Amino acid sequence: MKELKEILFGVNIDSVYGDTNLSISGISFDSRQIKQNNIFIAIKGYDLDGHNYIDQSINNGAIVVVCESLPKTINKYEIVFIKVKCSKIALYTISSNLYGNPSSKIDLIGVTGTNGKTTITSLLYKLFNNQGIKSGLISTINIEYEEFTENSKNTTPDPILLNHHLNEMVKRNIKVCFIEVSSHGIKQKRVFGKDFKGIVFTNLTHDHIDYHKTFKDYRDTKKEVFDTLNKKSFALINIDDKNGKFMTQNSSARVYTYSLKSKSNFSCRIVEQQLNGMLLNMENSEIWTKLIGEFNAYNLLAIYSVGKIYEIDSLNLLTNISELNSVQGRLQSFLSNSNVTVIIDYAHTPDAVENVLSTINKIKKSNQNLITVIGCGGDRDKAKRSMIGKICSDLSYKVIFTSDNPRSENPESIIKDIVSGVSNYNNNKILVQIERSKAIEEAKKNSEEGDIVLIAGKGHEDYQILKNKVIKFDDFKIAKKIFNK
């Protein structure tokens, strides 16, 4: 239990109604049963407004309500109302205070950018623990530290969950936490005021325009987190991306650069690529890695760079990197009974899809055909659908367009948007099969011994969202079952 005044330290308060001499045990910002949580924070979300649930939260046991606008029923209750300018910032400050500001007691390393966040954070987590540096992970796939692991609901958790897990890591004497920092997380103040030890910038391509409306807002949102870094922090940027320098132009942090093509602090070159791995020349040392693709060369170089910033011995670092396996749903593959290579990947942006297809085309033999199964998510950026349709039909021998997570949209209309990007020259390459499992079956029918099938878009996800229901659907498991029948 903490005193309310202690929990409110640093909150920009407009006005207070009621007695603040209270002890607080927990916080909530939704309408679920509060139980021992005493304080409710009303957040204006993308679809719902927490201010509409204030009465319900009080009935569930809230004795303090933080909000941006006071309810008309304020005189009806004998509780404390705290009016603030921004509930999201208040939520961050209050939850951080409640857990003793844990981000200041651990090396919090963020990874941001369009692509590579999950691979870099997940592999850094494995690498540092292998080096004897106790580390934690907060990623799109899971939250993990020591014996604890749970599946993630968001790329970047809400402030309550984030501070809770950081506090648990501090209690376990964990030194470093690697966290994915999404543009949604920055925009929604989930990482507001966090004491980052360092931030890694991967790249910036077309994504989340449905949420940000413009690429400029998407880019500027990413930059915000670099602007908060202090002189004791570091920023590691991919200098080959034209947005890299922009990210750090107002940052006080020590800036390091990595690249495959430009002069930088840390560099790498691809020597050879095969379907089972690639040979890299990293800082004048050659290593074999099980990962493939130029994008993974960037990812591994970013990992190496963070290791060097932490002054890990180069030989240990390179040896450990060569032993790392690909992350779940990221170029995850198996060889079927009929000798067809099936690859599952999370690629769902035009840039990521093009990277994966180009990589496979560079590696495969001339007699191997590349068949792609892909869809696009509903209620998301529509502009990228035709772009993905064009890229897939240009770079595949055959492409089967299907459902991803249609959500509230009609799957047929989504596929129609994708097909609109296909040129007349490529019309003979495409097939449409709305049901995803049947699309994978179609890929099997159209493949021959030695061919490569890429199933893209969902990666690690083990579900499909169809209107108001969620069904179990794991691309890897279903593809393995279908191809090995």
Is residue 156 within 8 A of residue 181, CB to CB? The reply is: yes
pLDDT (0 to 100) of residue 483? 97
Is residue 278 within 8 A of residue 260, CB to CB? The reply is: no
Whether 254 is covered by a domain: the verdict is yes
Q: Looking at residues 225-235, what average pLDDT do you find? A: 94
Is the same domain home to 151 and 296? yes
Is the same domain home to 346 and 261? no
For 217-274, give the DSSP string. HHHHHHHHHHHT--TTSEEEEETTSTTHHHHTTT--SEEEEEESSS--SEEEEEEEEE
Q: Is 285 helix (H, G, I), strand (E, B) or coil?
A: strand
Under the banding of pLDDT at 50, 70 and 90, the label for residue 212 is: very low
Structural domain of residue 353, as residue ranges? Answer: 332-483
In angstroms, the Cα distances linking 327 to 18, 139, 345, 460 are 51, 11, 10, 9
Q: What is the CATH number of the domain that holds 47?
A: 3.40.1390.10
Question: Final residue of a domain: which of 54, 80, 98?
Answer: 98
Is the same domain home to 201 and 126? yes
Q: What is the CATH number of the domain that holds 437?
A: 3.90.190.20
Whether 397 is covered by a domain: the verdict is yes
For 452-485, give the DSSP string. EEEEES-TT--EEEETTEEEE--HHHHHHHHHT-
Whether 71 is covered by a domain: the verdict is yes
Per the structure, the count of domains in the chain is 3
- Dihedral (C-alpha) 393, 399, 403, 404: value to the nearest 10 degrees? -70
Is residue 324 within 8 A of residue 437, CB to CB? The reply is: no
The kind and range of the H/E element at 389 are helix 383-395
Is the same domain home to 291 and 339? no
Whether 327 is covered by a domain: the verdict is no
Is the same domain home to 152 and 292? yes
Task: Give the predicted TM-score (pTM) of the model.
Answer: 0.89
Is the same domain home to 166 and 301? yes
**pLDDT tens digits for 111-137?**
999 899 999 999 999 999 999 999 999
Is the same domain home to 318 and 343? no
Under the banding of pLDDT at 50, 70 and 90, the label for residue 287 is: very high
What's phi and psi for 393, nearest 5 deg?
-75, -30
The least confident of 215-224, 291-300, 392-401 is 215-224
Is the same domain home to 92 and 134? no
What's phi and psi for 289, nearest 5 deg?
-125, 150
Whether 386 is covered by a domain: the verdict is yes
pLDDT (0 to 100) of residue 210? 55
Secondary structure of 94-116 in HEC code, one letter for each residue: HHHHHCCCHHHHCEEEEEECCCC
Question: Final residue of a domain: which of 53, 72, 98?
Answer: 98
Is the same domain home to 145 and 64? no
Under the banding of pLDDT at 50, 70 and 90, the label for residue 478 is: very high
Q: Looking at residues 4-18, what average pLDDT do you find? A: 92
Is the same domain home to 39 and 109? no
